[in-house]
Amino acid sequence: MSTTESVPPDAETITAAQVRHVAKLARLALSEPELETMRVQLSRILGHVASLDALDVADVPPTSHAVPLDAALREDVVRDSLPRRELLAAAPATEAGAFAVPKVLEGDA
Amino acid sequence: MSAAEITGLGVVALAEKVQRGELRAVEVAQAFLDRIAHLDAGVGAFLHVDGEGALAHAAGVDRLAPEARRALPLAGVPVAIKDNLCTRGVPTTCASKILAGWVPPYDAHAVERLRAAGATLVGKTNMDEFAMGSSNENSAFWPVRNPWDRTRAPGGSSGGSAAATAAAFAAASLGSDTGGSVRQPGAFCGVAAIKPTYGRISRYGLIAFASSLDQIGPFARTTRDAARVLGVIAGHDPRDATSVAREVPDYEAECGQPLAGMRIGVVREALGEGVEPAVRAAIEAALEVYRALGCAIVDVALPHAHHAVATYYLIAPAECSSNLARFDGMRFGLRSPGADLAETYGRTRAEGFGPEVKRRIMLGTYALSAGYYDAFYVKAQKARTLIARDYDAAFATCDAVLTPTSPTVAFALGEKTSDPLAMYLADIFTLPPSLAGLPAANVACGFSPEGLPIGLQLVTRAFDEPGLVRLADGYERASGFAGRRPADPAKGKG
């Protein structure tokens, strides 16, 4: 539980092309300087994360939730939903009682 | 009773006076609202103060028949709410530009419970954007100043809530804790803070950061006061599938109970290198207090705990990158139009999110992307298993594990902002119990030579909040550190 772990010299690094690809996957339009800062910072963080390679976890099951969970079942009953007017009040754009969004599909479909 | 006397009272004392009709809820609300209006400009704890709503709800409590009012455990008690908990009709922003001005159409479960228990909700508190940070400097609006020294950070991410309680802007507050965001600001601001077991409190209406780790937790100036709030907000809620259907014990009844025979586990490495000398000395003194109260002090080992930072900073960003996909500018919040849908998404998110949120989304997206999923995410989930097993083994010989909450006292504003990894490494003591889903508390245990609060962290078995409260409260009664308050900040902007 030491608080002074340093980044190993052979830190996992991430390339400019990888950062650009990840930004695209994450739908973040980052500027060139932001991409470069991100590359340096992510490399450093991933370098620290690489310390997990020292663990032998071949026979260890993964934990997705710390507290064991059963499937949560409930009666299938009809309940009121929130009023449409209130939900649409927070939308950036609405039209005819619906969310107005940029065109998703090309053509007239 | 003067306004200064009223705002000096804690949760249990205020509720009792309002229940008995010795104080009116409106008078209590006004005293706290006036204090916020006069002094919060120097702290920056609130993003939104809801004076009108607070006074209207308090007036409703005052109108109740005396017997109905007496049944309210938080009658007239002013509570501040972290700005990632939805409040119907009151802006909720997660301290992010992407949600600026958003007004939720519903209350979070914990907020509903507080209102029903008679609490007066005074406002929404500042935080690190989307609860990502350890200093509150990641707020898109302004940083919070530590009421004990306004050049220092209040901790994070629930820094506004911790500062609001420390400065007596509210008798209690709610925060959320994913990797220490209730406990660490509790330590930096010298207030009691409880992160309950994962599943103990419904997350319905808590805007998600990392869903397998997020828990709501209360702050108050004493553990007994925090236990009262915990008892109100804990319990099953079918709207959160991870909320646990388990009876809620009487936490407050644990206060004042003897500690003799309880076993405190100490991790020796947690008092070693990297821990500030004043923090180490305070923890060692606290162990003496426990010994004098009849507790046995035993050594325990958490051999995988030093992997917690690496584990957490894969799991939490992975979950965050998925959860924050919903902020796409379509149904709520900011939209920054582009030439097509993809460009609109990209611009909206680039303009709406701050640097730390972007960094975590990027890290999480990378860890979940093709080719890296097993090497990073699954590996971290396996490390998480090992960290949880360490606690199982430790609890065979002890009832609670005690460490510092933070290796240092509150650091200076600006000190760590340029180095994200250094900021992450300071979470070393709060991350392991979060990954294991265990209940944990911060308890004020002294002051550094420069007068800054020091906190100890107690961790107990899953759902052993009663043991946690008993140990925290027993220490507070014996040591006298809890409930101390900083001098009032000067009026006006700091």
Q: Decide if B381 and A63 are in contact by the 8 Å CB cutoff.
A: yes
**Nearest Cβ partner for A49 among B105, B306, B376:** B376
CA dist B221 and B223 (Å) reads: 7
Q: Decide if B436 and A60 are in contact by the 8 Å CB cutoff.
A: no
pTM of the model: 0.96
pLDDT, residue B448, reads: 97
A-proximal residues of B, 64-83, CB under 8 Å: none
pLDDT, residue A12, reads: 55
Per residue in B34-75, pLDDT (tens digit) is 999 999 999 999 999 999 999 999 999 999 999 999 999 999
| pLDDT range class, residue A105, cuts 50, 70, 90 | confident
Pair B400, B454: CB distance under 8 Å = no
Q: Decide if A93 and B335 are in contact by the 8 Å CB cutoff.
A: yes
CA dist B390 and B385 (Å) reads: 9
Q: Decide if B362 and A4 are in contact by the 8 Å CB cutoff.
A: no
Grouping H, G, I as helix, E, B as strand and the rest as coil, residue A95 is strand
Q: How far is CA B3 from the centre of its chain?
A: 27
| pLDDT range class, residue B364, cuts 50, 70, 90 | very high
**Nearest Cβ partner for A67 among B198, B304, B309:** B198
Per residue in A39-69, pLDDT (tens digit) is 999 999 999 999 999 999 999 999 988 887 7
**Nearest Cβ partner for B379 among A4, A48, A52:** A52
Q: Which residues lie closer than 8 Å to B320 by C-beta, 6 or more apart?
A: B130, B132, B209, B210, B357, B360, B361, B364
Which has more pLDDT, B475 or B369? B475
CB of B134 less than 8 A from some CB of A? no
CB of B238 less than 8 A from some CB of A? yes
Per residue in A5-45, pLDDT (tens digit) is 444 444 457 899 999 999 999 999 999 999 999 999 999 99
CB of B428 less than 8 A from some CB of A? yes
CA dist A33 and B306 (Å) reads: 33
User: Please, what is the Cα angle at B141 between B422 and B210, to 5 degrees?
Assistant: 55
Q: Decide if B242 and A101 are in contact by the 8 Å CB cutoff.
A: no
Which has more pLDDT, B303 or B370? B303
pLDDT, residue A68, reads: 75
| Mutation for testing the A interface, residue in B195, B312, B382 having most A CBs under 10 Å | B382
Does B12 score more than 60 pLDDT? yes
Chain B residue with CA closest to A94: the answer is B331
State mean pLDDT over B461-467: 98
Does B438 score more than 80 pLDDT? yes
Per residue in B371-418, pLDDT (tens digit) is 889 889 999 999 999 999 999 999 999 999 999 999 999 999 999 888
Chain A residue with CA closest to B314: the answer is A49
Interface predicted TM-score of the whole assembly (ipTM), two decimals:
0.91
**Nearest Cβ partner for B307 among A18, A51, A99:** A51
| Mutation for testing the A interface, residue in B212, B322, B362, B438 having most A CBs under 10 Å | B362
**Nearest Cβ partner for B425 among A5, A19, A29:** A5
For chain B, give the mean pLDDT: 96
Q: Decide if A90 and B332 are in contact by the 8 Å CB cutoff.
A: yes
| pLDDT range class, residue B481, cuts 50, 70, 90 | confident
Q: Decide if B384 and A63 are in contact by the 8 Å CB cutoff.
A: yes
Write out the two tokens for B274.
């990297």
Q: Which residues lie closer than 8 Å to B229 by C-beta, 6 or more apart?
A: B11, B74, B79, B114, B172, B174, B218, B220
Gap from A97 CA to chain B (nearest CA, Å): 12
Which has more pLDDT, B424 or B223? B223
CA dist B195 and B162 (Å) reads: 13
Does B249 score more than 70 pLDDT? yes
Query: Which amino acids of B are annotated catalytic?
Result: 82, 157, 181
Gap from A71 CA to chain B (nearest CA, Å): 8
Residue B458's alpha-carbon distances to A43, B98, B305, in angstroms, are 34, 36, 15
Gap from A10 CA to chain B (nearest CA, Å): 16
pLDDT, residue B422, reads: 85
Gap from B84 CA to chain A (nearest CA, Å): 16
Residues in A closer than 8 angstroms to B345, CB to CB, are 27
Residues in A closer than 8 angstroms to B197, CB to CB, are 67
pLDDT, residue B231, reads: 98
CA dist B141 and B44 (Å) reads: 10
Q: Decide if A2 and B274 are in contact by the 8 Å CB cutoff.
A: yes
pLDDT, residue B166, reads: 98
Q: How many helices (H) and strands (E) does chain A have?
A: 3, 2
Q: Which residues lie closer than 8 Å to B371 by C-beta, 6 or more apart?
A: none
* Residue in the structure block whose two tokens are 């029903």: B116
Grouping H, G, I as helix, E, B as strand and the rest as coil, residue A98 is strand
**Nearest Cβ partner for B380 among A52, A82, A91:** A52
